[in-house]
Structure 1
Amino acid sequence: MSNQQQYVVSKKWLLARLYEPDLVIVDCRFQLGKPASGQEAYTESHIPRAVYVDLERDLSAPIGEHGGRHPLPDVETLAERLGRAGISRESRVVAYDDQGGAMASRLWWVLRYLGHEQAYVLEEGFSAWVRDGYPTTAEQPVVIPTTFAASPRTVMLVGVERVREVVARGGAVLIDSRDPERYRGEVEPLDRKAGHIPGAINRVWSAGRREDGTWKSPEEQRARFAELPQDGEIIVYCGSGVTATPNVLALQEAGFTNVKLYGGSWSDWISYSENPIATGEE
């Protein structure tokens, strides 16, 4: 098994390729509850040539009765928005944020879901890039819109029906990526109901990184998920389908081959009054 990261690139790697024409650098900075802050931070300063992609405006659909707090847009909408950002199927895409990789991983996941191979997350966030003296600019790049030809990998995504089947009959591992106190139902800062999907195990997404903010190696990621079957179906969720994506990335780095995202996650699950809720430790 490889101990080389497939989906995470270092600051040095990016610096060396900063001006290669097929590279699209994407700033994904976003703070929940402060929807304008990412765009403002980007306008002030960003990695040269980076374009800005917004979690709520670009990578989410409007909120409805179901689908959670950050519903995935349909494939055509996503493809159109990526093309508008200058991303085609031939682009190599490197995403970064300042939120521990959560927002960048959402873009990474969306690209993979739409059939894109060369998608990467920058090892650390924008603050680390600045701290280490790497170049920044306030200059906005000229973006030439292109066509993104999507060929969705529908097996990467599950909806509430599949999760209900797993709760009732097993057949897959459910991973809750939220903080332990939210998983246990002791606090719930964002959603109407507290707790977790019955049978889910808790693996907080931020444990995929070391203390210094760098991503753990594939070997270290394997240790986090040591008891899980390498080829068994694994369904990952969080509050709204965003912070689950770094766990999807970590599982894939660790060699798991059948990893799926429950797109609507907890906020979708609780939108159905009949769905059962568990609290405490499993």
Structure 2
Amino acid sequence: MNNIVSSKWLLARMYEPDIVIVDCRFLMGKPDAGRELYEASHIPGAVYLDLEKDLSAPVEEHGGRHPLPDNFELTVTLSRVGIGNESRVVAYDDQGGAMASRLWWLLKYLGHEQVFVMDEGFTAWFNAGFPVSSEQKVLIPAKFLATVQHAMLVEMDEVKELLGDERVTLIDSREAPRYRGEVEPLDKAAGHIPGAINRFWKDGLTEAGIWKDTAAQAERFADLDRDRDLIVYCGSGVTATPNVIALQEAGFSKVRLYAGSWSDWISYEGNPVAVGGEEKA
């Protein structure tokens, strides 16, 4: 099933009663900017979910910069904004789909299949002349019951155990200079998990910021063995999620997220760190 929908697809369905549109705009380092943008202008009927307040748990010693929210608390949040088990959820942002993909992954993790990311984002919607509004929707709570898909997630201990295992491929979703350890603007140590390959998440988009089609996504990952288990990570588990989508679009089925990602990995003293280019098997 396609995980990405066009703005025209949403425009044609935005008032259907089972559609819930979620604005996920969020600017790293400016925690209030996303909500302020939403309050100024958004797709009519959209509700707002905040990356750090709603889609992450508070930061602790371990778990990374954006720890996964508590499952029960997340179901309460989803129910509060009107997302029920029968809802078709369409998430959007203005950050290339990274924040919307986080919500997509969380809903899939809770067993909700009918969730999509809107291609291109809010600015493209606005520039197309599609309707926008500053009115906030009256929230009518829905009933959301989770069926947690534990197989979608991997924790640090398992990643550590699997280092060097030829049946597993680790995929680092950050920009190449961060992967190589040349720069690190956000975390206290630079480098990558030993053995990981680098596939920058934004390479899943065209230069115009449109999601690449299935064939192009498959080409990005053509060198990967489809029988291997794939573990995807980034800095804090957010920008890895577009790569999870891209891998699914490309036909890979054995894809898991290391949600704590690099910021969690380096929080454990003694975990090995690699720098430089990709290591060859």
Unaligned runs of 5+ in 1: none
Question: In the TM superposition, what is the alpha-carbon distance from 1:68 to its structure 2 partner?
Answer: 0.2
Aligned residue number for residue 164 of structure 1: 160
Alignment of 1:108 onto 2:104: yes
Q: TM-score, normalised by structure 2?
A: 0.98
Structure 1 residue identity aligned to 2:47: V
Match of 1:46 among 38, 42, 47: 42
Cα distance, 1:132 vs. partner?
0.8
Which aligned runs of 4 or more in structure 1 are off by greater than 6 angstroms? none
**AA of the residue aligned to 1:249:** I
Partner of 1:152: 148
Q: Which residue of 1 aligns with 2:231?
A: 235
Match of 2:12 in 1: 16
Alpha-carbon distance in 1 for matches of 2:99, 2:28: 10
CA contact (8 A) 2:164 2:195 kept: no
Aligned match for 1:135, one of 128, 131, 143: 131
Alignment of 1:81-230 (within 5 A): 81-230=77-226
Matched residues, percent identical? Answer: 64
Q: Give the TM-score normalised by the residue count of structure 1.
A: 0.97
Offset, 1:171: 2.6
Cα drift, residue 170 of structure 1? 3.9
Q: For the residues of structure 2 that align with 1:115 and 1:108, how far apart are their CA atoms?
A: 11
CA distance, structure 1, for counterparts of residue 201 and residue 248 of structure 2: 13
Q: Which range moved further: 224-233 or 194-203?
A: 224-233
Q: What code does the residue aligned with 2:145 have?
A: A
* SS of alignment partner, residue 245 of structure 1: helix
- Could you tell me how far apart the structure 2 residues matched to 1:264 and 1:78 are? 17
Question: 2:3 aligns to what?
Answer: 7
3-state DSSP of counterpart to 2:253: coil
- Between the aligned partners of 1:230 and 1:170, the Cα distance in structure 2 is 13
Amino acid of the residue matched to residue 252 of structure 1? Q
Residue-by-residue CA offset, 1:87-131 (whole Å, 9 max, x unaligned): 011000000000000000000000000000100000111000011
Question: Matched residue pairs, number?
Answer: 278
Segments of structure 2 that go 5 or more residues without pairing to the other structure are none
In structure 2, C-alpha distance between the alignment counterparts of 1:168 and 1:267, rounded to whole Å? 21
Distance 1:258 1:74 in 2: 24
Secondary structure of the equivalent of 1:236? strand
Q: Report the RMSD for the aligned CA atoms in angstroms.
A: 0.8
The letter of the residue matching 2:125 is W
What letter is aligned with 2:64? G
**Could you say what secondary structure the match of 1:169 adopts?**
coil
SS in 1 for 2:20: strand
**1:241 partner SS:** coil
> For 2:164 and 2:250, how far apart are their aligned partners in 1?
28
Name 1:245's counterpart in structure 2. Answer: 241
Quote the Cα distance in structure 2 between the aligned partners of 1:83 and 1:170: 42
The separation in 2 between residues aligned to 1:23 and 1:169, in whole angstroms, is 43
